[in-house]
Structure 1
């Protein structure tokens, strides 16, 4: 079979243009990625549209289960932490019941990655508006992390997210990183943050976690795989 190691399913917003290329670019040989898109009528990223995405994800979960994936990732960070600590795992369980295969949310994958690396104090960078940033801060605090800094780019129009150039993301992160933090977390599966991980880790001297990187890491570790591109940063290289 073409997927002689592992098949990863993706449940993603119809407007997400980044997570699929990231997974396909950085996955090891023998792993295939199979996506099902979730209808998202409005070109906005806010609490209302993310709540709608949660509800619409169950139909997509049924479809991804039929594809025979070994695990599925609900690839939207904001939609998996909106209701606070524990909601990510509740959503995973609900989607898993629909899919009939293991399902993890991006928010859960990020928490698992941070815990594996024993990181506690975070600078969080997002493209989001304030109403989502406040909920993200509450989510990480509720999970036992200290958020030493959180800066958002205040982008509400979803279609603008993939257009953020990697160098723009890099500069924003460097400008707002708190040196008292243990690590930098860049939130959102629809921005090209994964491309700048090694450069940020070199510049900051701290681990860098991104939504797509943590999601890929979690899925691969469930398969027992540690074979991945060195470009993926400390997380995928050593954990």
Structure 2
């Protein structure tokens, strides 16, 4: 059995991970998706996000995951990784070292790699963050070869507030901020519950929808060499050629 470990900040939408595990375990070859939490200020502001994704905090998370003996580790936080810009690669390398050398990544890199896997070049972004933080995500995507044709920022100050959004509110955020020229819609916040909404959103929008917890799980499985098609986790998970 393959085990993927996720370091998740505070508490908000971590129940997306056991949901993904249940969907993945409908196949014969089960996987474990284990989540350990680190804690800090959940404010969507640059200084707080830099602290949240610091080497010390991620090393703490890696230590908590060690008992699970993960085959790969992912920092399950979009804003706490893209805020580092070019330093996000060093952040992931440091996490790998802290986790004993297993492959490691973050949600921000997961978005770039998922977009590449699907051949997406032009996307819309429906962000929950304040505008200045959302623009850093746009910059990160651009550095990874993904053009953002439209970006919205809902201006929600904390992850806890995002975690309290209803399914209807999440769907409305997505619907309202798609763009006809976009190949896909990206929804970047692991504090937002989205996995159960992916099929509905993709049918309504007629295009792939990539969400933070979805791409984070995908990235962890990719690193562990355990990608497999799953019908209920969006276009990203439906192809054998991942």
Q: Which whole-Å CA distance do the structure 2 matches of 1:223 and 1:51 have between them?
A: 27
Change (3 A) 1:226 1:36: closer
Counterpart in the other structure of 1:24 = 18
Counterpart in the other structure of 1:58 = 59
State the Cα distance separating 1:228 from its structure 2 match.
Answer: 5.2
* Alignment map for 1:129-168 (pairs within 5 Å): 129-168=130-169
Q: Which whole-Å CA distance do the structure 1 matches of 2:197 and 2:153 have between them?
A: 17
What do residues 175-226 of structure 1 show as CA deviations (whole Å, max 9, x unaligned)? 2211100110000101012222111111111111111111111222334434
Counterpart in the other structure of 1:207 = 208
Q: Which contiguous aligned blocks of 4+ residues in structure 1 show a shift greater than 3 angstroms?
A: 222-229
Q: Say how many residue pairs are matched.
A: 231
User: Are the equivalent residues in 2 in contact too, given 1:26–1:228 (CA < 8 A)?
Assistant: no
What do residues 47-87 of structure 1 show as CA deviations (whole Å, max 9, x unaligned)? 11111111122222233234311111100000111132x43
Q: Which whole-Å CA distance do the structure 2 matches of 1:61 and 1:94 have between them?
A: 10
Q: Which whole-Å CA distance do the structure 1 matches of 2:173 and 2:238 have between them?
A: 25
User: Are the equivalent residues in 2 in contact too, given 1:26–1:229 (CA < 8 A)?
Assistant: no
Q: Which whole-Å CA distance do the structure 1 matches of 2:226 and 2:61 have between them?
A: 26
RMSD: 1.6
User: Are the equivalent residues in 2 in contact too, given 1:63–1:99 (CA < 8 A)?
Assistant: no
User: Are the equivalent residues in 1 in contact too, given 2:125–2:152 (CA < 8 A)?
Assistant: yes
TM-score (norm 2): 0.90
Q: Which whole-Å CA distance do the structure 2 matches of 1:43 and 1:205 have between them?
A: 33
What do residues 113-155 of structure 1 show as CA deviations (whole Å, max 9, x unaligned)? 1001110101001110112012111111122221111111111
Moved more, 218-227 or 192-201: 218-227
5+ residue gaps in structure 1? none
State the Cα distance separating 1:91 from its structure 2 match.
Answer: 0.9
Q: Which whole-Å CA distance do the structure 2 matches of 1:43 and 1:79 have between them?
A: 10
Counterpart in the other structure of 1:33 = 33
- What SS does the aligned partner of 1:189 have? coil
Counterpart in the other structure of 1:172 = 173
Q: Which whole-Å CA distance do the structure 2 matches of 1:126 and 1:177 have between them?
A: 11
